[in-house]
Amino acid sequence: MPVSRERLRWLVRPALVLCNAVAVLALLAVSALIWLERDWAKPDTSRDPEAAFLHGSIGTELMPLPVAVALPVLFPEHFLADGARGDWIEQFGFIRGAGEDLKQVLPLGFVVSRYRPGSGAPSPVPFVGFSCGLCHVTAIRTADDGSARQVPGPGSISLNLFAWLDAFQAAVLARRPLLPGEAADPEQPPPYRMTIATIREAYSEASGRDMKPAERLMTALWLRQIRARLETGLPRFDEPHGHGLSRDPQVTPTGPTRTQPFRTIVRQVLQRPGNDMPVYTKIATVFSQDLRRRAQVDGTIANLYARSSLAALAAGATVENMRNPEVVHNIRAASDYTRALRAPSFAQMFPDHVPGDQSRLARGREMYQAHCFGCHGDRDDAGTGWSNGPKTDEVTPVGAIGTDPARVTFRHYGSVPERLFRLFDQHHPFHFAREEIWPQRGEEQNSAIRGYLNAPLDGVFLRAPYLHNASVLTLAELINLKPRRAVFFRGQNLYDPLNVGFISPDQPDGRRYFRFDTAQRGNSNRGHDYPWAYNDPQRNVGDLEALLDYLKTL
């Protein structure tokens, strides 16, 4: 039976009215959301450089605050090496934070903001991310039962960030174990353990508070998004280990005080797995940046803001949220802080170990001038500035210096600079000139020029462990006064003022657990044999002892 035009109008009109009503409601909801967002996060661009360095978000928001508080309670098997016992902050080498309210349960460098991960859009609930201080503040101890001195600028000597990230990802993807008699079904695996209900219970246990409705809603959205992202990456990156294995050098070989920044960038920028890249880089020392014309251990970046923004990118920030005015301010202000930041003197740190033999110091300075000044420069005569040598801020090819080559020879080394340059377009706050990042165009495949930067050595006693891959524990070993250890143990190592570096036990213990084997790919401690190799017949122990004393004064 044909439908009359009048009847058709009668049927369609309510549907049109309903659609219009839905559209109006959606428009009102969006308008209300935009109006509410004004009060969720007001960009704070007033932090002074030190506060920005220690406490300012750099765009690495990772999870809602209740999740950060609940994780160790929910997943002790991932975050506590001894299961239900221990201290996750200490075990992963974080520095215990100081602050009010819930912030006191999080380590130094964990910051709370009202920005969402990835986009940097305002959030109605707090999220937890990182500041520069997470990696670039260290705690120096000379005895396990002694007090620690926190020093901003050196890379953390204990932080095992990759292990913590592995544990975090394992917790997000953890599912309930199979029940007795329950068969494994790939099509219908057991439910996830991390749910709003379990987070809410653990958060209440740890904080004495209940999650607000907005926190429950935003956490549910976050869980769905991060799980989708992690599960999408599993075919390329594989599953995280967790269960304490993330601190095992056979499983996660990065270890304390080191990162794999290029693996992260290769994954994010080039969309390549990066799983077979043994590129282990010591967490950078960032004081006295004004003395350097180039940043990075391989001299690949000249612009300090570019270096800092790329470090934030490697730590989880995005190009999008690094447009946020507050994030831009924090990264720039923190960079400015590192320009003028100076290391404390050896005498201030270790007054009982100050070299006192002036004749030996004079001999040490002669040795330094003869063998070190040309590449690294020296303090000026007034002792307040730095005089560069003829090769300071130049790159010594890896074939000449003989140190581990993995940092500058991985497969994508030549293609990364151009992709990074294009990633930060000319309108981006952290855009940089192509000439400020190496290799330059046309030199991408020229392996002969790849190497390591001859940098000033001010505060050299705080730059331990030495070489770019942290494979030499002390200055005494670096200058071949003592033989370089083939195997040692890392973690919360105690400082050694006598040999200028860190002490390692002969066997692992509760705090020095990570076995660093210099025979492993990417871990070589060879090269940089100045003034002499250890087995050189011209090697003079007295001259080397004098040189070590003089190095303590820089």
DSSP for 459-517, written as a single string: TGGGSPSBTTTT-B-BHHHHTTSSPPPSEEEEESPPEETTTTEE---SS--SSEEEEEE
Output the DSSP codes for 320-363: TGGGSHHHHHHHHHHHHHHHH--PPPHHHH-GGG----HHHHHH
pLDDT of residue 335 exceeding 60 = yes
pLDDT at 43 over 60: yes
Residue 87: predicted pLDDT: 84
pLDDT per residue over 244-287, tens digit each?
888 899 999 999 999 998 998 999 899 888 888 999 999 999 99
Query: pLDDT-based confidence at 26, cuts 50/70/90?
Result: very low
pLDDT of residue 42: 83
Which of 51-60, 103-112, 165-174, 284-293 shows the lowest per-residue confidence on average (mean pLDDT)? Answer: 103-112
Output the pLDDT for position 227: 96
pLDDT average, residue stretch 424-441: 96
What is the rounded CA–CA span in Å between residue 521 and residue 398?
Answer: 16
Mean pLDDT of 382-410: 93
DSSP state for residue 82 in the 8-state scheme: B
The per-residue pLDDT for 312 is 97
- pLDDT at residue 11, rounded to an integer: 55
pLDDT tens digits, one per residue of 49-89:
999 999 999 999 999 999 999 999 999 999 886 655 568 99
Distance CA 248, CA 244 (A): 7
Share of the chain above pLDDT 70, in %: 90
Residue 195 pLDDT grade (very low, low, confident, very high; cuts 50, 70, 90): very high
β-strand partners of 490? 514
- Please report the pLDDT score of residue 82 as a whole number: 62
Q: What's the whole-number average pLDDT of the chain? A: 90
Res. 146: pLDDT tops 60 = yes
pLDDT class for 221, splitting at 50, 70, 90?
very high
Q: How buried is 472 (Cβ within 10 angstroms: 0-12 exposed, 13-18 middle, 19+ buried)?
A: buried
Q: Residue 223 is encoded by which pair of tokens?
A: 């869980």
Q: How far apart are the C-alpha atoms of 183 and 190, rounded to whole Å?
A: 10
What tens digit of pLDDT does each residue of 438-469 get?
Answer: 999 999 999 999 999 999 999 999 999 999 99
pLDDT value, residue 177: 85
Q: Per-residue pLDDT for 102 more than 60? A: no
Sheet containing 122-130, strands listed edge to edge, beginning at the edge strand earlier in sequence: 63-64, 122-130, 110-115
Question: Domain extents for the chain?
Answer: 40-177+188-340, 356-400+455-551
- Backbone conformation region of residue 541, classed left if phi is above 0, alpha if psi is from -120 to 50, else beta: alpha
Q: What is the band of 178 on the pLDDT scale with cuts at 50, 70, 90?
A: confident
Cβ contact 288:341 at 8 Å? yes
Residue 113 pLDDT > 90, yes or no? Answer: yes
Backbone angles phi, psi at 437, to 5 degrees: -140, 135
pLDDT of res. 184: 81
